[in-house]
Amino acid sequence: MEQTVRWLTPEEQRAWRSFVRLQERLGGRLARLLQAESHLSVADFAVLVNLTDVPEGRQRFLDLARALEWEKSRMSHHIARMVKRGLVERDECAEDGRGAFVVITEAGRTAIEAAAPLHVRAVRTLFLDHVTPAELRTLAQISERVVSKLDEDPS
């Protein structure tokens, strides 16, 4: 059964393309600044932020992959690189021989503590300083609504 495509209206297309451009440019700029100033990639930063947000700085490997929306293979490769750099360690799960934890190390904590102020400053300079409080509230509401819908259907 063929479905009719609901093409984007000019207004929808403008909003969507502007949103995508914003994400690409902002993400690229933040990534370059983070790498240059802290020697962490955006992926490193995301892993470390997630680990500092959980008790004891440890999270099940698959839960971390889900939180970051990463495939298992990407997670595996990236964590292996971070282990080599001493930012995290992989800790086998005693209760479940197939599972593992990713644990932040002291070097990882030091790296995220140094990078966080740089990141916040960049977020303010590149984004927050250019929107009003009302626009920021609207953006938060939109983002939360869309993320909630995405979480309902994780496929």
Q: What is the pLDDT of residues 22-72, one digit of tens each?
A: 999 999 999 999 999 999 999 999 999 999 999 899 999 999 999 999 999
Q: What is the largest CA-CA distance in the chain?
A: 57
Give the strands of the sheet with 100-104, arranged side by side.
58-60, 100-104, 88-92
Instruction: State how far the alpha carbon of 100 is from the alpha carbons of 82, 90, 112, in Å.
Output: 15, 7, 22
Residue 97 clears pLDDT 90, i.e. is over it = no
Round to whole Å and give the CA distance between 118 and 148: 29
Domains of the chain: 23-152 (1.10.10.10)
Round to whole Å and give the CA distance between 57 and 106: 10
Round to whole Å and give the CA distance between 69 and 78: 13
Round to whole Å and give the CA distance between 108 and 139: 31
What pTM value is reported for the model? 0.86
Round to whole Å and give the CA distance between 123 and 103: 27
Round to whole Å and give the CA distance between 151 and 65: 15
Res. 96 pLDDT band, cuts 50 70 90: low
Residue 94 clears pLDDT 80, i.e. is over it = no
